[in-house]
Chain A
Amino acid sequence: MTGARDAIVIGAGVNGLAAAAYLAMAGKRVLVLEARDSEGGLSDVDEFADGVRATRAAHALYALDPSVVRELKLARHGLKFAVRDMPLVGLRNDGKHLVLVRDPYTTARHIVAHSDSDANAWAEFRREWFALARIMRHLWWSANSRNGDDAVARAERVSRMGAGAWLDSWFESDALKATLGFDAHALSPLAAGSALILVWRAAQEMCGLQGAVAFPRGGLRALVDAVAAAACKAGVETRTEAPVADIQVDSEGAVAGVALASGEMIAAPLVLSSLSRRQTLSQPSVRRALGLGEAAQLDRRRSGAQMARVALALDAPPTISGSQVPLTGRFVVAERLDSLTAAHAAAMAGRLPQELTMEVVLPVAADPALAPQGRHLVSVLVGPVPAEIEGGWKAAKSLLAAKVVAQLSRHLPGLSRHLVGIEVLTPDEARHGFGADDAFGGAVDAARLLADWRERVRTPMPGLILCGAAADPVGAVSGRGGRMAACFAFERDARP
C-alpha cells in the first residue's frame, strides 16, 4: 500500500474533478485517478483532422450546475460563455425551419407558420412546463431537503407520462412536437417518465436563465480546465494513465482502497466513482463482496438505446438551406415524434434506425477560435442508436458516419464536398473507454427520475459513492454528480 488518502476519485471528468475539489476544499487529502493520458473524460478534446479539435461526446452545456460554478469559482478559473442561450431550431425537410427562442411571443410568431393553435398554446405550455421544473428541482437537487412528497404529488401526472402523450396533449404540429420531444431522447417518447426528461431540461439554470443551453468560450475543454484548476488550487492530486483494476474491500465489507492496473495499491476509506453504477458495482471485489445475486441483477438490465457522437471537419463554413436560422442554435433533426419512437424501437432491437434523429451544433459559429483559419466543425449527437448493434459497432461505425452525412446533406448543402475529416464515438467506445453507460444521458431508468438524490449516489457498499453522470437523474456534463457525491460523503462523516 502506498501513501494512504482520505478519498480516491476514479475518473477525471468534470464530475470527478468537481467531487475532488469539494472534498479537498474541506481539507481532505484527495487523489484523482484517470485511466487516460489527460483530464476531461468525455468532455476532453481530440484533434481528428488537420488542426480541427472536437470534444469526444458532449458538445454543449445543457445542465452545468450554477452552484458548482459559484462554489468552485469557475469564472475566476477561466470559464466564460460564448453563447449563453442557444436557440432550439427544428430543421424541417420542407425548409420551413422552426426557431424556438426564450421570448414566448417571438416563438409563438415562429410557430404560427406550422400551426395556429400551437402558437396559441405555446405561452401557457411553457409556463406550466417551467413551473413544473421549478417544483421538481427541489426533489432532484436539494441536498438539505429530504421531503419531496409535495413536489412529487403535484408533478405526479407528468412524471408518469410519455413525452409523446404530454406533447400531444398540447400541440398538433409535428414540427413543434418532434423538435421539443427530441430532448427526451434518453427514453422513447412512448415510455412512461420520458416527459420528466423534458422537465429536467427546463429545470436547469445556467447563467441565470432557466432551461438554457449554453456554449462555453473555448469549447467544453475550457470547462474541464476551469474545474481542474479549481481542484488543483484546492490541493487535489491527479494522476493520469493510472487505470483502476479493482476496488478493494475490507473484511467488514467496506471500501478499503483501489488497486491500479500496474499492481499498485492505494488505501482510502472513501472511493468516489465516476463510472456508471453498473460498471462500478461490477468491479471484481465489489461484485464478490455484494454477492452474486446483485451482480446477476446488474446484468439483467437491457442496455437498450444510447447516443453516438459524430464530428465532421469542413473546409468551408457550413450553410443551412431553407428558411433563415441563427447559426449559434442547436439544430434538431427529427421529422415527427414517430421518427423518435421508431428509432427507439430499432435501437432496442439492435438495429440502426432507418431515419436517424440527431442534434447538430456548429461550435465554430459560436466561438471562431475553436478551429484554425478556413476550417469548420459540425458536431452531431445521433440517437437513439443501439447500445449493442447487430454485427458489432466496429463494422457499423462507418455506416453510421455515411448515414449521418447523407441525411445532413439535405440541410447542409455541399457537406460531403467540403468534408475533410470525420470522427465517430460509438456507444460501445464510450462504454469501454470512459465507463459511461450513461453517456449523453442514455439508458435512463424511469424510476431513477423520481428517486431521492441519495439513492442515486449511494451504493450498497459503505464508503463507495457514485459521483459521475449516474448521480444525476439524466446524465450530462453538470458537475452536479460530483457535488452531490461530496455532499453525501460529508453527511456520512457528520453522522455519529
Chain B
Amino acid sequence: MRYDAAIIGAGAEGLAAATLLGQAGLRVIVIERGARAGGRCLTREFHPGYRASPYVDDVAEIPAELYWQLDLARHGAVFVPERCSHALWPERCHALNFFASGNGGQARLLAEAAERRRSIAARAVGNGEKRSRLSRAGRAPWPAADWATTALADAVAVESDDEAAHLAALSLAGRAADPYLAGSALHLLGARASAGRLAGGLGRLGDALHAAADAAGVQFAFGLEASDIQRRDGRLSGVGLADGSEIAAQSIISTLDLKRTFLSFFAWNALPRTVVRRVNAFRMAGTTARVLFALSSTPEFAVPQAQDGPIHVAPSLGVLNAAYQDWRLGVVAEHLPVVLNVVSAHDASLAPPDGAVVTATLGAVPFRPFDGAWTHEKRELLRRRARDAAESVSPGFAERIVASEVIAPPDIEDALGATDADLAGGEIAGDQMLGMGPWDEPALPRTPIAGLYLAGSHLTAGAFATCAAGASAARALLADRAKGHRT
C-alpha cells in the first residue's frame, strides 16, 4: 500500500502533523522505532510508587488554534498554567508571581517574551503556505529579531541584580549560554514558555496526541526504525526500514533533527554540496541533564509557596557565564545552574501518600566531557551536584531521599534520538531560527529534496512552541499537494 505521507517519529510534532493530515483525508502512517507514541511526553515509574517525566517536566506552549484543531481537550490534555517562579539563595529569596498585577519591568519583559513567542509560532505555522524566504512576506522582520543581536544580561537588566539573575536563570533553564554575549537574549523566548502542568504528568499529553491521531485515522508502525529515504527517478518513493523492507509514500515528514535527517537518511554524495556543508555547520549541542529524586516526605523550603513553581537555586549571571565557559570546554562546572521542581506538589498521583517527587534540571552539562565518556563517576557527580544544590535551599533534603535516578546527556540522545542530546534541536541563535534555515530556498519546513519536510522541534518555530513545527510541515505538504493537483 502506498501512503500519501509517511511521518518519521511519533513525538508531539509527528503526531500533530499526522493528525492534521489525517483530518484532511490523507492516508498517513507514523513510523516510530520505540513501542509507544509521545516522544519526550512520557511519564514513567523510576522507583516503585514514584513517577516522573524523565526528560522534561513540561513542554512549550501549544498554539491555541492547534490545541483546538487537534481536539486535545477532549482527549484529556488539560493544562494548568504555572503560577510563579522562585529564586532561592540559602539566605534570601526572589519571587516572580506570574499573575500578580503591576510587577514592573520584569512583568513587561515576560509579557513581551510571551507575545513574541506566540507570534513566532503563528508565523511559523502560517509559513507552511509560503515557499520563499526572499519573497516580500518572507522578508518581513521576525518578532524578536532584535534579540538576536542583544546580550541577555543587557535585556534583563531591569531593577535589582537578584531580579536580573532570576530572569536570566528562568530563560536559560536547562540550557547553556553566556549571558554577556550578543545574541543570548534570544533565550528570553524560553522564559516561562511552559504550556503549564498536566494532571497525570506529561505522559498524558503523549496519550492525548496519540488518541487524536487515532481518531483522525492515522496508522502507526511501532518498533520499526527508518534507515533511509528512498528516491526513484528523482522523486521520493518511500522510507527504507532497518529490516530491509520499505514503506512506500509520496511525501515524507521527518521529525528528527536536521543533522540526523540529512546525515543518516541520505548518502552524503546524493545531496547538493552546499546542503551538506550547511547541514554539517548546523550547531547542536546538549546542555541538559536531569536527576529524579524520590523523597520520603515533602521537602521544606524557606518560602513554602516556592514549590508551586520552578525553583532556581542561587542564580547569578556570573554562575551562568562560568558554567557556559566550562561547558564549552567539556567540563562539568563547579556551580551548575539547577532548577528544582516539586512535581508531586501539583499531582499527587506521581508519589505515594506522604512521599514526594522532585526533579532537578541541570544546565550547562556537556554532551562530550573533555576526558571521555559519561562514566559512572561522572553520573555520580551530577547526582551530588543536584543533591547539594537542593540541600542548600531545603535543609534536610538529602535525608529524605529514598531513591534517585540520573539522566545524563547520552541517555537523552539514546531515548529521544536527538543529536548530541540537544533537546532544543539546535543552538538557540539568530542564524539558526526565526526563519533562517540551513538553506536559503525553499523556505522551511520545505527542503531542497522535493516532497521531504522537516518538523524537528527547532527549525521553524524555535524550540519555543509545541506542535507548531509539525503543523507547519503538514500545512506545507497540503499546500504543495493542492498546487500539484491544480496544475
> What residues make up the interface of A, taking CB atoms closer than 8 Å to B?
149, 153-154, 156-162, 165, 168-170, 187-188, 190-194, 300-302, 304, 341, 345, 348, 445-447, 449-450
Contact = CB atoms under 8 A, between A and B. Distances in A.
Contacts of A190: 178, 181
Contacts of A193: 149, 182-183
B431 interface: yes
Nearest to A121: B277
A149 B281 CA distance: 27
Contacts of B440: 157
8 contacts: A153-B134, A157-B431, A158-B431, A165-B281, A169-B280, A188-B181, A192-B148, A192-B182
A108 B321 CA distance: 38
Which of B134, B146, B181, B440 neighbours the largest number of chain A CB atoms within 10 Å of its CB?
B181
Nearest to A158: B431
B150 A446 contact: yes
Contacts of A341: 328
Q: A-side binding surface: helix, strand, loop or mixed?
A: helix
A154 B182 CA distance: 21
Nearest to B141: A152
A226 to B, nearest CB: 36
Which of B278, B328, B431 neighbours the largest number of chain A CB atoms within 10 Å of its CB?
B431
B399 to A, nearest CB: 38
Contacts of B429: 160-162, 165, 192
Contact of A156 (B150, B183, B281, B436): B436
Nearest to B278: A169
B394 interface: no
Which of B139, B153, B182, B436 neighbours the largest number of chain A CB atoms within 10 Å of its CB?
B182
A160 B149 CA distance: 7
A165 B283 contact: yes
A187 B182 contact: yes
Given A153-B139, A192-B430, A193-B149, A302 B134 contact: no
A449 B430 CA distance: 15
Interface string B218-231: 00000000000000
A137 B431 CA distance: 21
B182 A149 contact: no
B180 interface: yes
A158 B148 CA distance: 12
B325 interface: yes
B154 interface: yes
Contacts of A302: 153-154, 180
B283 A447 contact: no
B436 A160 contact: yes
Nearest to B435: A156
Interface string B142-178: 0000101111011001000000000000000000001
Contacts of A300: 154, 157
Contacts of A162: 183, 429
A154 B134 contact: yes
A157 B139 CA distance: 12
B147 to A, nearest CB: 9
Given A154-B134, A169-B277, A301-B154, A160 B139 contact: no
A446 B157 contact: no
A22 B181 CA distance: 38
A333 to B, nearest CB: 22
A302 B325 CA distance: 19
B179 to A, nearest CB: 11
Given A168-B281, A169-B281, A192-B430, A160 B148 contact: yes
B180 A446 contact: no
Contacts of B182: 187, 191-194, 445-446
B430 A160 contact: yes
Closest 7 CB pairs of A and B: A192-B183, A160-B430, A169-B281, A446-B149, A446-B182, A191-B182, A161-B431
Given A157-B431, A169-B278, A192 B139 contact: no
Given A188-B181, A194-B182, A447-B150, 5 more contacts: A153-B134, A157-B440, A160-B149, A192-B181, A193-B182
A170 B277 CA distance: 8
Nearest to A150: B139
Contacts of B134: 153-154
A168 B431 CA distance: 14
Contacts of A445: 182
A176 to B, nearest CB: 15
B313 to A, nearest CB: 23
A447 B150 CA distance: 7
A214 B202 CA distance: 62
Contacts of B150: 446-447
A433 to B, nearest CB: 27
A194 B182 CA distance: 9
A188 B181 CA distance: 8
Given A156-B436, A302-B180, A447 B149 contact: yes
Nearest to B433: A160
Given A300-B157, A446-B182, A192 B325 contact: no
Contacts of B283: 165
A190 B148 CA distance: 13
A157 B436 contact: yes
Contacts of A159: 149
A148 to B, nearest CB: 12
B151 to A, nearest CB: 8
B137 to A, nearest CB: 12
Which of A165, A188, A192 neighbours the largest number of chain B CB atoms within 10 Å of its CB?
A192
Nearest to A338: B328
Nearest to A192: B183
Contacts of B151: 191
A345 B179 CA distance: 11
A193 B181 CA distance: 10
Given A149-B139, A169-B277, A450-B149, A160 B183 contact: yes
Contacts of A169: 277-278, 280-281
Which of B183, B281, B321 neighbours the largest number of chain A CB atoms within 10 Å of its CB?
B183
A172 to B, nearest CB: 10
A446 B431 CA distance: 14
A425 B214 CA distance: 72
Contacts of A194: 182
A170 B131 CA distance: 27
A188 B325 CA distance: 13
Contacts of B430: 160-161, 192
Interface string B25-56: 00000000000000000000000000000000
Contacts of A154: 134
Nearest to A156: B436
Which of A158, A160, A169, A341 neighbours the largest number of chain B CB atoms within 10 Å of its CB?
A160
Interface in B265-291: 277-278, 280-281, 283
Given A446-B149, A447-B150, A450-B149, A165 B431 contact: yes
Nearest to B186: A192
Nearest to A342: B325
A348 B183 CA distance: 16
A421 B148 CA distance: 45
Which of A153, A159, A194, A449 neighbours the largest number of chain B CB atoms within 10 Å of its CB?
A153
A161 B282 CA distance: 12
A158 B430 CA distance: 9
Nearest to A447: B149
B181 A191 contact: yes
A316 to B, nearest CB: 41
A342 to B, nearest CB: 8
Contacts of A447: 146, 149-150
Given A165-B429, A169-B278, A345 B436 contact: no
A348 B180 contact: yes
Nearest to A190: B181
A457 to B, nearest CB: 20
B149 A345 contact: no
